[in-house]
Amino acid sequence: MIELNDLLAQIWPLAVQQTVGIEQVELKQALGRVLAQDVISMLDVPQHDNSGMDGYAVRSADFVAQRQFEVSQRIPAGASPDALLPGTVARIFTGAPIPPGADSVVMQEDVQVLCDGQIVFNALPKAGQWIRRAGEDIAAGQVVLPKGTRLDAIHVGLLASIGVAEVAVARRLKVGVMATGSELQSPGNPLKAGQIYNSNEYVWCGLLSALNVDVVSVGIVPDNFEATCAALESLADCDAVISSGGVSVGEEDHVKPAIEKVGELRSWKVAMKPGKPIAFGHINRLQGGYSWFFGLPGNPVSSAVAFKLIVKPFLDLLQGQTVAQVDWRLRMQQVQAEFAWLKPDERREEFLRVHVQSGKARLFANQSSGVLTSLAQSNGLVRLAKGQVVSPGDWVDCVMYRDLMS
């Protein structure tokens, strides 16, 4: 049995060394993809000093002599203004360029327009007021987004704001999934006696959709050695393959011998709860090379937790994210337990499903690794060391689900 930290130290560097290739995609296709290069702005944003208000562009020094002004030009957004004539003001609108010679904008609510069109100002303008400076958002030459960023909607908008139409991103990963278990049935079909629905594959597919990968599914694989080998081999051209179930040492568990036959088992059994029977290895390709392989436990909580803690960061790293970006251990927070945990596991660290609110963690009553509602009704995992007992009020380490899947 390997410690979780040791497993991560063993496998994450493998993914870092084998980051996939790069492709160019149009900006609108870039959502959810991982940037393959730093993006540097060629522009100042905004390009010009511009007005933050509808109002009047003025030279504040002119206000020493007078308070009543002629409007010498009108500057809507998109216009290219002339220099401001001394002793006059310019009508200006939000986003329009400040005319040379003006150093301040007075909002229209602070002026009176006389019947002859002259403008009277109610207050003395301060130099610089209501001017949005060129480059105050982004300066030309600045790294706007670093390599390894997984692009969300705001990132895509930021790239649009500097005029980027195409970006270099990691090639889309191909991830194979298979659910082993002769008891499994697909939703949409009635359950026969002894059957249960295959939920693990749905959890993974949902989690994988956030990673913007191509998912290849062979569906349900019955518990027999030949079928397991055949399913694994059929997915060998994927970048990574994830299976659930059949990974212990029961007579009906065929994943371990199958991976030893069609590839290599590199690690097996992790000292964590939920999730002990976890296999890591690879599946050989006929034409050379291999696909990474994760054999996750069948229990739904174990499979989902192992996916989030071990597999998801590995897939992120294959796409060129950095360890600092994906290591959830760097984003753990301390929360105060509102529960007691008095019979800890002495041989495995434990991840307890909790609901955290205002820094206080409430324990989901049923911590069985078969109870998927424990994940649905919690928002974080408390990480306990082997043998760690908890009394109400103790501070414990917790990782929130939002930090596991970002």
> Which residue's Cβ has the minimum distance to Mg ion?
245
Q: Is 113 helix (H, G, I), strand (E, B) or coil?
A: strand
Q: Which helix (H) or strand (E) holds 302?
A: helix 300-306
3-state DSSP of 175-201: EEEEEECCCEECCCCCCCCCCEECCHH
**Distance (Å, rounded) from C-alpha 82 to C-alpha 97?**
10
Query: Is residue 181 within the footprint of ligand AMP (CB under 6 A)?
Result: yes
Q: Which of Mg ion, ligand AMP, none does residue 176 bind (CB under 5 to 8 Å by kind)?
A: none
Q: Which of 43, 45, 75, 179 binds ligand AMP (CB under 6 A)?
A: 179
Comparing CB distances to ligand AMP, the nearer of 50 and 244 is: 244
User: Contact at 8 Å (CB) between 305 and 348?
Assistant: no
Comparing CB distances to ligand AMP, the nearer of 198 and 291 is: 198
Q: Which of 299, 319, 321, 374 binds ligand AMP (CB under 6 A)?
A: 299
Query: Is residue 295 within the footprint of ligand AMP (CB under 6 A)?
Result: no
Comparing CB distances to ligand AMP, the nearer of 90 and 304 is: 304
Q: Which of 81, 99, 245, 275 binds Mg ion (CB under 5 A)?
A: 245
Give the pair of three-digit tokens for residue 405. Answer: 């899947």
Nearest to 249 by CA among 221, 276, 220, 222: 276
DSSP characters over 194-237: T-EE--HHHHHHHHHHTTT-EEEEEEEE-S-HHHHHHHHHHTTT
Strands (E), 12-160: 22-26, 39-40, 50-51, 55-58, 68-75, 88-92, 104-107, 111-113, 119-121, 131-132, 143-145
**Distance (Å, rounded) from C-alpha 391 to C-alpha 406?**
31
> Which residue's Cβ has the minimum distance to ligand AMP?
298
Among the listed ranges 44-52, 73-81, 147-155, 192-200, the one in contact with ligand AMP (CB under 6 A) is: 192-200
What x-and-dash track marks residues 13-52 binding ligand AMP by CB under 6 A? ----------------------------------------
Query: Is residue 228 within the footprint of ligand AMP (CB under 6 A)?
Result: no
Q: Which of 3, 54, 137, 183 binds ligand AMP (CB under 6 A)?
A: 183
Q: Which of ligand AMP, Mg ion, none does residue 184 bind (CB under 5 to 8 Å by kind)?
A: ligand AMP
Q: Which of Mg ion, ligand AMP, none does residue 149 bind (CB under 5 to 8 Å by kind)?
A: none
Nearest to 293 by CA among 213, 377, 232: 232
Query: Is residue 181 within the footprint of Mg ion (CB under 5 A)?
Result: yes
Which residues would be at the binding site for Mg ion (CB under 5 A)? 181, 245-246, 298
